[in-house]
Amino acid sequence: MSDLFDKLATSEPREALGEGAVLLRGYALSEAPALLSALDQLVSQAPFRHMVTPGGYAMSVAMTNCGAAGWVTDRSGYRYDAIDPHTGRPWPVMPACFAGLATAAAETAGYPGFDPDACLINRYAPGARLSLHQDRNELDLAHPIVSVSLGLPATFQFGGMKRSDPVRRIGLRHGDVAVWGGPSRLRFHGVAELKDGHHEVLGRQRINLTFRVAF
């Protein structure tokens, strides 16, 4: 496999979160500086913005995207779009260090050949949260989702197939990578209100990269 896969597939602790869902603690730590410098570049082309939900509320999480497909929401609904509605241009190209990490993590978790066309980038300031939801805007739900946590720690809420199912709380820290596929792909999930704090690299924020095959 790739050099990056060899480099990362060492003996990182892996934790099963549910059927098809795996947490790789610290998996992205060695790549974090490269990820963050690529992020600076692409945020200058597609800035973070607070999108509006179909119900008319601005999201507390600020978002941007890179890759061929970007997740967007506005008064007309949730969808993937090849064009950034804020700039009128295509989303920035997905940096090679982003795609390489996502592919390597998916392979480590048992999903070889993951080739994401979408990376949603979520920025949480203290107080920001993401309420319980399912990810179901992608055309083919057979592909897993890979998520990378950077900056301040967060409490991830991992529910079941029904909104009313019990929720398990999982702490996600800088460098953690999670892979969600198979029977876990449609489980409800969210992020609890971010607690204030200071992270040595990112200060008062949390960044989450979510890789998907959207188109």
**Helix or strand holding residue 210 (H, E):** strand 206-212
143 part of the interface to ligand MD3, by CB under 6 A? no
Pairwise CA distance, residues 112 & 97, whole Å: 17
Q: Which of 107, 117, 135, 138 binds Fe ion (CB under 5 A)?
A: 135
Span of 12-20, 31-39, 131-139, 194-202 interacting with Fe ion by CB under 5 A: 131-139
Q: Which CA distances in Å does 29 have to 24, 45, 98, 189?
A: 11, 25, 13, 24
Q: 179 forms bridges with which residues in the sheet?
A: 22, 146
Residues between 196 and 215 with contacts to ligand MD3, criterion CB under 6 A? 208, 210
As measured in angstroms, the least distance from the Cβ of 120 to Fe ion is 8
As measured in angstroms, the least distance from the Cβ of 204 to ligand MD3 is 16
111 part of the interface to ligand MD3, by CB under 6 A? no
Give 6 or 165: the residue with its C-beta nearer to ligand MD3.
Answer: 165
As measured in angstroms, the least distance from the Cβ of 172 to ligand MD3 is 7
191 part of the interface to ligand MD3, by CB under 6 A? yes
64 part of the interface to ligand MD3, by CB under 6 A? no
Give 7 or 79: the residue with its C-beta nearer to ligand MD3.
Answer: 79
Closest CA to 174 of 123, 144, 127, 208: 208
How large is the C-alpha radius of gyration of the chain?
16
As measured in angstroms, the least distance from the Cβ of 32 to ligand MD3 is 16
174 part of the interface to ligand MD3, by CB under 6 A? no
Pairwise CA distance, residues 70 & 150, whole Å: 20
The entry of ligand MD3, Fe ion, none near residue 108 (CB within 5 to 8 angstroms by kind) is none
Coil, helix or strand at residue 142? coil
Q: Which residues contact 151 (CB under 8 A, 6 or more apart)?
A: 174, 199, 201, 202, 203, 205, 206, 207
31 part of the interface to Fe ion, by CB under 5 A? no
Binding site for Fe ion (CB under 5 A): 135
